[in-house]
Amino acid sequence: MTRPFPDTIDETARRWALRVQDAAFDDWDGLTAWLESDPAHLAAYETALDVDAWAVELLTQKRPPRPIAPARAPSRRRWFAAGGAMAAALVAAGGWTVLAPASGPREIATAAGEHRTVELGDGSRVILNGNTRITLDPKAPREVALASGEALFQIRHDAERPFVVTAHGTRLIDVGTVFNVVHDGTAIDVAVAEGAVDYSAGRQRIRLNPGDALSRSDAVSPPALRKASPQTIGSWQTGQLQYDDAPLDQVAGDLGRNTGQTIQARRGAERMRFTGTLMLEGSPQQVFARAGPLLGVRFIEEGDNWTMVPASAPRR
pLDDT digits over 188-205, tens only? 999 999 999 999 988 889
Give me the pLDDT at residue 42, please.
79
Mean pLDDT of 137-145: 91
* pLDDT value at residue 95: 56
- Give bridge partners of residue 78 from the DSSP assignment: none
Give the integer Cα–Cα distance in Å for 195 and 88: 24
Contact 233, 193 (CB under 8 A): yes
pLDDT at 6 over 50: no
DSSP 61: -
- With a CB cutoff of 8 Å and minimum separation 6, the contacts of 8 are none
Fold adopted by 239-316: Phage tail protein beta-alpha-beta fold (3.55.50)
102-230 has which fold?
Jelly Rolls (2.60.120)
- Positive or negative CA dihedral for 77, 81, 82, 86? positive
Comparison of pLDDT for 45 and 251, the residue scoring more: 251
Report percent pLDDT > 70 for the chain.
78
Element (H, E) at 312: none
Average pLDDT over every residue of 195-224: 91
Model confidence at 34, in pLDDT bands (50, 70, 90)? Answer: confident
Residue type, 25: F
Residues of the chain with CATH 2.60.120.1440: 102-230
Greater model confidence, 4 or 147? 147
Is a pLDDT exceeding 50 seen at residue 20?
yes
**Per-residue pLDDT band at 119 (split at 50, 70, 90):** confident
Q: Lowest-confidence range among 43-57, 120-134, 183-197?
A: 43-57
Pick the most confident of 31-40, 94-103, 129-138: 129-138
| More confident: 11 or 76 | 11
All CATH 3.55.50.30 domain ranges of the chain, comma separated, are 239-316
The continuous run of DSSP H or E covering 137 comes out as strand 133-137
| Percentage helix, strand, coil for the chain under 3-state DSSP, each rounded to 5 | 30, 35, 35
d(CA 163, CA 185): 23
Contact present, 255 and 241 (Cβ < 8 Å) = yes
Are 288 and 299 in contact by the 8 Å Cβ rule? The answer is: yes
pLDDT in tens, 148-187: 999 999 999 888 899 999 998 899 999 878 999 999 888 9
In terms of pLDDT, which residue wins out, 130 or 47?
Answer: 130
Are 111 and 129 in contact by the 8 Å Cβ rule? The answer is no
Order of strands, sheet of 262-265, starting from the edge strand that comes earlier in the sequence: 262-265, 305-310, 297-302
Q: Are 257 and 130 in contact (CB under 8 A)?
A: yes
- Work out the mean pLDDT of the chain and round it to a whole number: 79
Instruction: Specify the DSSP element, H or E, that contains 192.
Output: strand 187-194
pLDDT of residue 172: 96
| Model confidence band, residue 2 (pLDDT cutoffs 50, 70, 90) | very low
